[in-house]
């Protein structure tokens, strides 16, 4: 399994990405928009990877569509880039997963308050990629990712790491 975080600083060149793809391992990508790459970022260089995890704004920017539903755009990008899975985070609206079997799964957001969204996508990426690697059901994958992301947005920056005990208690509480 390879986890690839593309923060848009031109570190991941086409040559590096090509080498990663040649490894034949499952590749999980988080490719973010920032102020320096907003007009130039494209997910086209991540065709034929296992999964891409992006937010709704990044999805809309990549497809240049601010009108269509998130679900329609997600399936469009999934097909265009020949992905196995596409995960789209949607802030307080939760998260959407579409796969190459034409199935969709959703999960609500669990944050009680949003203090800072920095790191939420990284938390989602880590849980989702691990869940796929372990062949968990997509609903379980989204649940774990959404809980992890909720902890991230409730703190400032990366001040706190994910506390296993708190994570475990939250899952236990939700499943009762």
Residue count (the chain) = 176
Q: Is the pLDDT of residue 32 over 70?
A: yes
Query: In the predicted model, is pLDDT for residue 150 greater than 90?
Result: no
pLDDT at 156: 67
pLDDT digits (tens, 9 = 90+) for 55-108: 999 999 999 999 999 999 999 999 999 999 999 999 889 999 999 999 999 999
52 within 8 A of 87, measured Cβ to Cβ: yes
**Global pTM?**
0.88
Q: What is the pLDDT of residue 144?
A: 94
Residue 138: helix, strand or coil by DSSP? Answer: helix
What is the C-alpha to C-alpha distance for residues 164 and 118, in angstroms, rounded to an integer? 20
The distance from CA 134 to its chain's CA centroid, rounded to whole angstroms, is 17
- Class of CATH domain 2-175: alpha beta
How many CA atoms lie within 13 Å of 161's alpha carbon, on the beta-carbon side?
A: 2
Kind of pairing between the strands at 2-6 and 27-31: parallel
pLDDT, mean of residues 17-21: 91
Q: What pLDDT score does 84 carry? A: 95
Round the average pLDDT of the chain to a whole number and report it. Answer: 87
Distance CA 34, CA 45 (A): 17
Looking at the DSSP assignment, which residues form a beta bridge with residue 31? Answer: 6
Reported as type and span, the H/E element at residue 110 is none
Please determine, for residue 153, whether its predicted confidence score (pLDDT) is greater than 90: no
């Amino acid at each position: 399994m390879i986890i690839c975080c593309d923060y848009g600083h031109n570190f991941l060149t086409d040559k590096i990405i090509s080498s990663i793809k040649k490894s034949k391992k499952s590749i999980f990508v988080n490719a973010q928009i920032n102020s320096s790459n907003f007009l130039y970022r494209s997910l086209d260089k991540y065709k034929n990877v296992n999964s891409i995890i992006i937010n709704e704004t990044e999805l809309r920017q990549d497809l240049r569509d601010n009108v269509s539903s998130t679900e329609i755009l997600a399936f469009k990008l999934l097909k265009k880039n020949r992905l196995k899975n596409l995960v789209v985070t949607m802030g307080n609206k939760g998260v959407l997963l579409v796969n190459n079997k034409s199935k969709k799964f959703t999960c609500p957001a669990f944050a009680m308050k949003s203090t800072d969204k920095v790191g939420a996508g990284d938390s989602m990426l880590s849980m989702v990629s691990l869940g796929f690697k372990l062949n968990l059901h997509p609903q379980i994958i989204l649940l774990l990712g959404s809980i992890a992301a909720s902890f991230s947005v409730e703190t400032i920056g990366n001040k706190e790491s994910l506390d296993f005990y708190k994570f475990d208690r939250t899952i236990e509480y939700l499943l009762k």
